Chains A and B, each alone.
Chain A
């Protein structure tokens, strides 16, 4: 049981390049999330999904797109990277049901946009 994994762990992009971050979970969780964490800002929700085939915007969705084609995977795309998207990106998942359920986080992807 690997929990939540993220690919890649590190990436450096040039402004305008595109990339996709992959999040995978093997816990059969319904809900998945993408957050970004910046110094002094805490974690902020980008997009989330409450089930396969469904996605919704979070607090800071601009410049990002997501897809949840398979229950175990949640992809985060940057179509045209900007320096403001330099951040640490965390994926998380939670079993549906009570709001007391623990969210499990992946190890993070450190992205630098030059």
Chain B
């Protein structure tokens, strides 16, 4: 099985802080990359896709480094509502997702 590795955390940060997560993947032929968010006891939901050129959505920035085989997620100006588990997801071929085990984020007042 192709591996997707994440630091499980937890990352405890104060409101307003900037926090970054990394994720490494083992298959150099991987095609598509995503960050999903999962709240406690809920289903995963797409946060953002990760493009080769990098992409930004408000306070969230995702980067892909194919040479080093990792993707990153940067969250600026953290909010309490950002507390969740962030799942790194990689598609090797076809349409089956390979999930990392997730990184837990807790934003505190």
A43 and B42 contact, CB distance less than 8 A: no
B32 within 8 A of A: yes
Query: How far, in whole Å, are A108 and B45 apart by their CA atoms in the complex?
Result: 12
Query: How far, in whole Å, are A96 and B96 apart by their CA atoms in the complex?
Result: 12
Q: How many residues of B contact A (CB 8 A)?
A: 23
Number of A-B contacts (CB under 8 A): 50
Q: A42-B87, A45-B97, A48-B96 are in contact. Are A90 and B46 (CB under 8 A)?
A: no
Q: Could you say which of A41, A43, A96 has the most chain B C-beta atoms within 10 Å of its C-beta?
A: A43
Query: How far, in whole Å, are A59 and B43 apart by their CA atoms in the complex?
Result: 20
A74: chain B residues at CB < 8 Å are: none
Place the interface of chain A in its size category: 20 to 34
Query: How far, in whole Å, are A41 and B1 apart by their CA atoms in the complex?
Result: 13
**A69 to B: closest C-beta gap in Å:** 21
Interface string of B91-109 (1 = CB under 8 A from A): 1011111011110000000
A108: chain B residues at CB < 8 Å are: 41-43
B49 and A100 contact, CB distance less than 8 A: yes
